[in-house]
Amino acid sequence: NPASKVYVANKIKACNTVGFHSMTHKLEDSSSEEELLSLIDNLNKDESIDGILVQLPLPKHINELKIINAIAPEKDVDGFLAHNLGTLATGELNSAIACTPFGVMALLYAYGIDPSGKNSVVIGRSNIVGKPMSLLLLSADATVTMAHSKTQNLIQICQNADILVAAAGQPEMVTKDFIKKDAIVIDVGIHRKENGKLCGDTHQNAKEIASALTPVPGGVGPMTIAMLMLNTALAAWNKDRKS
């Protein structure tokens, strides 16, 4: 997967920058679920490994949820495990948090934007972005609406958002018509256009109305990698603390 190659290269680069040892296991498209489960099992048992991530998407014959949930919870630095998503839902916030929404929260706070009491709309309900994003905003006392492909009156719902998170995976879908004046718009999407340029889920004309808009490229993408590094450091620290 060409996009995955870029993401993996960026993650290796970030590991090198912060001084983490990283190993990449490249499997063939035709690899079986058993092969991948066996590799994860070995990495789970390997004391020298603090964090494991499986770069998605996986080939269609492999059950992604089964693979993700095979990772030891304490080594799930992507924060994708059902267990780790569950602790977000219960508000415990004591295990790895999914990197992309975690990065969005870090961005908000870095810019002095407190979600408390704000109307927040998250477009997208995936397990890796939309759901954990909504739960994190809720934990930060925002009033959260989750929208998805079956949502009716999406534009009107978005027009009520003080914080709008676009994670629908639809290039430039969120135009200025979706945006309340001076809203904060977080663009999670990343797409390559026919002309080779990258774009997000948000149209550039959103800038005319929003008070802040994350750029694509830049913005949420680098934050995702930064939080992956943080989750890994925390996993190593937690292991050392317990031993």
Q: Which residues bind ligand NDP (CB under 6 A)?
A: 100, 123-126, 128-130, 147-151, 154, 167-170, 173, 188-190, 220-221, 224
Active site residue 78: yes
Nearer to ligand NDP, 2 or 48 (CB): 2
**Taking a C-beta distance cutoff of 8 angstroms, is the pair 213, 183 a contact?**
no
Nearer to ligand NDP, 18 or 42 (CB): 18
Q: Which two tokens stand for residue 187?
A: 């663009």
Active site residue 55: yes
Nearer to ligand NDP, 224 or 232 (CB): 224
Q: Could you give phi then psi for residue 81, rounded to 5 degrees?
A: -60, 145
Nearer to ligand NDP, 70 or 123 (CB): 123
Q: In angstroms, give the least distance from the CB of 191 to ligand NDP.
A: 6
Q: In angstroms, give the least distance from the CB of 35 to ligand NDP.
A: 24
Q: Read off the amino acid at residue 192.
A: R
Cα–Cα distance, 85 to 96 (Å, whole number):
9
Q: Which two tokens stand for residue 202?
A: 């948000």
Q: In angstroms, give the least distance from the CB of 240 to ligand NDP.
A: 28
Q: How many CB atoms lie within 10 A of CB 49?
A: 18
Place of tokens 């620290």: 237
**Taking a C-beta distance cutoff of 8 angstroms, is the pair 185, 161 a contact?**
no
Q: In angstroms, give the least distance from the CB of 48 to ligand NDP.
A: 27
**Taking a C-beta distance cutoff of 8 angstroms, is the pair 97, 223 a contact?**
no
Look at phi and psi of residue 219 and say left if phi exceeds 0, alpha if psi is from -120 to 50, else beta.
Answer: left
Active site residue 11: yes
Active-site residue identified among 76, 78, 162, 187: 78
Active-site residue identified among 11, 75, 118, 131: 11
Catalytic residues: 11, 55, 78
